[in-house]
Amino acid sequence: MRFFSPLLISLFLLACPDPDGLTPGGGGGGSGSIALNLTSVTTGDGFSCGISTTGGLVCWGASIDGLTNPPVGRFTNISAGYASVCEVGDDGGLHCRGDDQWGRVSDTPTGTYSQVSVRHGHACAVARNGSIECWGLDDKGQASPPSGAFTKVTTGRSHSCAITIDGSVECWGQLDNEEEGPYNLPEGNGWIDISAGGYHTCAAHSLGEVHCWGWRDAPGSGTGPDEGIPEPPAKGFVQISSGEQHTCGISHESEIFCWGQEADTSIGQREEGQTDHPGGELWESIAAGFDHSCAIKTDGSTHCWGGNRYGQSTPP
């Protein structure tokens, strides 16, 4: 999978002749852990970020467009995407940086927010009053949210989904197109977590059930909607996170389980030095990225695995 466009890579290498500047943690596949205590972690395309127990930000991996140069302050939520990242300050304000294609940085809305989600060309955020605001690419309607009150929003490549205050699921964009569906969206109430990957989405229920729907590959790739979507393990989950073509979750027993394309390595093609997702530990949070994943242990330390071309799986 290509992480960044050749133009971006070329421009960066001209400014930084030493190619190691792109790979502070080493090249190829790999994994790493840090003792730095984090409360949350997010994985983008070639980089990762987290929020420390004091509210500060730490990022590692590809440093193009300031992706790994976070602002100073205290933050409560963060989300990394294809070539941009956004965070919510403790005052509720949104801060975004990275590539500004489709206005995904310059069109960042003002106001007060509780949660933000960034993916490919667009981003969405839940305001403190429960409404959702989206910005960026809107060619499939993915940045045109419905009205109502919501608790969490998630963004895929060309669709978005959210959990309402009564625990039901609503989606908009490509995965809400009757001509390309219908899609087997989860029914009823009681959904507590939701996460969109490239073209699929998974939701976790308060009873532990996980329901996934969408496309295994891109629409038009030869498979129909909901065809070939990997079934999640028969476990009860408290948190889930969808990457480009894989999903990971934290079970009620604080174990990690991953499923989908090369879920053990979190990429489509295994590279030398890559390791399977960790086991035998207790975990409380996980983030599945484009070709790598990171998780936080119950002691606050962070472990990453999968692709490591830019050092995204080697925390500082």
Q: Whole-number mean pLDDT of the chain? A: 82
Total-model pTM: 0.84
**Which of 91-95, 114-118, 181-185 has the least mean pLDDT?**
181-185
pLDDT band at 179 (very low <50, low <70, confident <90, very high): very low
Q: Tell me, what's the pLDDT at 271?
A: 41
Contacts of 14 (CB under 8 A, 6+ apart): none
Write out the two tokens for 182: 């219908």
Contacts of 112 (CB under 8 A, 6+ apart): 91, 92, 93, 127, 128
| Alpha-carbon gap, residue 204 to 27, rounded angstroms | 34
- Residue 186 CA, distance from chain mean position: 20
Q: 1 to each of 114, 207, 215, 223, 270, how far by Cα in Å?
A: 32, 36, 18, 20, 12
Query: Domains in the chain, start-ordered, CATH in brackets?
Result: 21-307 (2.130.10.30)
pLDDT band at 233 (very low <50, low <70, confident <90, very high): confident
Q: Tell me, what's the pLDDT at 40?
A: 95
More confident residue, 270 or 63: 63
Q: Tell me, what's the pLDDT at 22?
A: 28
- The DSSP annotation for 27-90 comes to SSEEEEEE-S-EEEEEE-SSEEEEEETTS-EEEEE--GGGTT-PPSS-EEEEEE-SSEEEEEET
Tens-digit pLDDT profile for residues 244-278: 888 999 999 999 998 886 544 443 343 433 335 67
